[in-house]
Amino acid sequence: MSETTKDQNVRVEAICDQLITMEGPLLPILHEVQEEFGHIPEGALQTIAKKLNLSRAEVHGVASFYHDFREEKAGKHVIKICRAEACQAMGADALGDQVRRHLRVDWSQTTADRKITLEPVFCLGLCACAPAAMVDGKVVGRVTSDRMNRILNEVGA
């Protein structure tokens, strides 16, 4: 076992130990592991499975079911654009097209320089200030085409 894998195991085990007494600890553990590593590392599945007395397949099944959990790290910046109806009514489709063209990526992809990940999101609860987006965890409402260009500039796209 390499030093990095060992270190990873130690960190994952520490997270499990900290949360294992919760009722239904798996989702909180996966969130915490993703917070720590930026994604759910392949090797973490086995460690979590052992701690929770589950099979690796079960943990993989859960991690792959939810849109939030990533198999690989996201780009340096994450832009989420709402694609749901209220935002569609205010031009979200055109906004999505604009960003995909600009970044030359499709939904759920990362730019070649690993700088920006573009993700669809279905509702941020900002439906009365549509179209809405979330940039590195920060919410933005009434995103016009100009506003989006400024955001893209700020993240260096």
State the nearest-atom distance from the C-beta of 1 to another protein, in Å. Answer: 27
Query: What's the rounded Cα separation, in Å, for the pair 63 and 26?
Result: 9
Strands (E), 12-146: 77-82, 109-110, 116-121, 133-135, 138-140
Query: 139: which residues sit within 8 A by CB, 6+ positions away?
Result: 124, 126, 132, 133
Is there a binding annotation on residue 16?
Answer: no
Nearer to another protein, 119 or 157 (CB): 119
Residues that bind another protein (CB under 8 A): 23-28, 30-31, 52, 61-62, 65-69, 82, 84-90, 121-130, 132, 134, 137, 139-142
Is there a binding annotation on residue 129?
Answer: no
Helix then strand then coil, % of the chain, to nearest 5: 50, 15, 35
Nearer to another protein, 22 or 112 (CB): 22
State the nearest-atom distance from the C-beta of 3 to another protein, in Å. Answer: 30
Q: Which residue numbers belong to the known binding site for [2Fe-2S] cluster?
A: 82, 87, 123, 127
